[in-house]
Structure 1
């Protein structure tokens, strides 16, 4: 939002018109802060918490998009691949909260079409999705309420581009597969190739 002051100003305007300037935001206000929720959803779309979902194992032979996935296969969903898919998202590498605004409909932080997901999904999905989404939105709302955002003098913007190695390292260090990945440079190289495929 610092790279695009108009987005920040729009969030401030929404906050001031919904909550006002003389009280703290409450969880009950979040229902009406659609643009701020759209900013959170867009931030999590463009920069998911981790590049991959936790690994799962198939319990039966399956066919997905014409590809056979044999029983016992380890399957990982690329959050980055979903959330930056140019067949789903127009200009997928641009931060644009307006893409989530659907007229007067409330912005939902979950996506049942699985075009993006920040935590996990399904019956064994993260039990903290609602709590995490609410707290993230509350944090952004309080930042918008309490602070003005501007770049330091002589700065042209904040570089949010990920380094391929950083993404692969973050994945191997933050997932349960870290033990396996840390002992297998061949596997890490494969993970880097898979990640590279999804982010380019």
Structure 2
């Protein structure tokens, strides 16, 4: 993108492959909701060898799927590079059941495309504009709070400093 431009544009985000991998890995490691929405079996069926009666409510444990060691090597480690190598063809839009942070099928999040577009654009710009450091460069506590959505158990404390030369931020010209 360069240090002489203020904004990362939408066309730039398509070329930021590592950023895309970071977002996928973050959604895998910390899905927004650990459980899927409720589905109901419309008729008797068999799922993975288990009999499921009509009317049974089914909830997918997304957290478990996203941390399955049969699918993900070192499933509890943050490794965005996996989406540039072994899992490069996996998408988060519900087509690959190994990674479904927004659900899949008819009941997947209807705003997934918009959310991903805004997430890529916003994160690219914030990382372009600022440097982030923890106080004394200490490790970030990534423990999660219990709940129906995933959130950090402790507040995130960071120091934010401008990354670009001052003239780039000058909007008076």
Range of TM-score over shorter length = 0.7 to 0.9
Matched, 1:54 2:42: no
- Equivalent residue number for residue 129 of structure 1: 112
- Equivalent residue number for residue 75 of structure 1: 58
Aligned residues: 147
Q: How far apart are 1:110 and its partner, in Å? A: 3.1
Q: How far apart are 1:123 and its partner, in Å? A: 2.1
Quote the RMSD (CA, aligned, Å).
2.0
Scaled by the length of structure 2, the TM-score of the pair is 0.77
Are the counterparts in 2 of residues 31 and 106 from structure 1 also a CA contact under 8 Å?
no
Matched, 1:20 2:7: no
Are the counterparts in 2 of residues 37 and 109 from structure 1 also a CA contact under 8 Å?
no
Are the counterparts in 2 of residues 53 and 79 from structure 1 also a CA contact under 8 Å?
yes
- Equivalent residue number for residue 171 of structure 1: 148
Aligned mate of 1:36, from 19, 35, 52: 19
Q: How far apart are 1:20 and its partner, in Å? A: 2.0
Runs (5+) with no aligned partner, structure 1: 1-18, 173-200
Q: How far apart are 1:138 and its partner, in Å? A: 1.5
Q: Structure 1 residues 42 and 48 mapped into 2: Cα distance closer, same or farther (>3 Å)?
A: same
Q: Structure 1 residues 111 and 34 mapped into 2: Cα distance closer, same or farther (>3 Å)?
A: farther
Q: Which has the higher strand share?
A: 2
Scaled by the length of structure 1, the TM-score of the pair is 0.67
Q: Which has the higher helix share?
A: 1
Are the counterparts in 2 of residues 58 and 71 from structure 1 also a CA contact under 8 Å?
yes
Matched, 1:139 2:122: yes
Greater shift, 64-73 or 116-125, is seen at 116-125
For residues 130 and 89 of structure 2, the distance between their equivalents in structure 1, rounded to whole angstroms, comes to 25
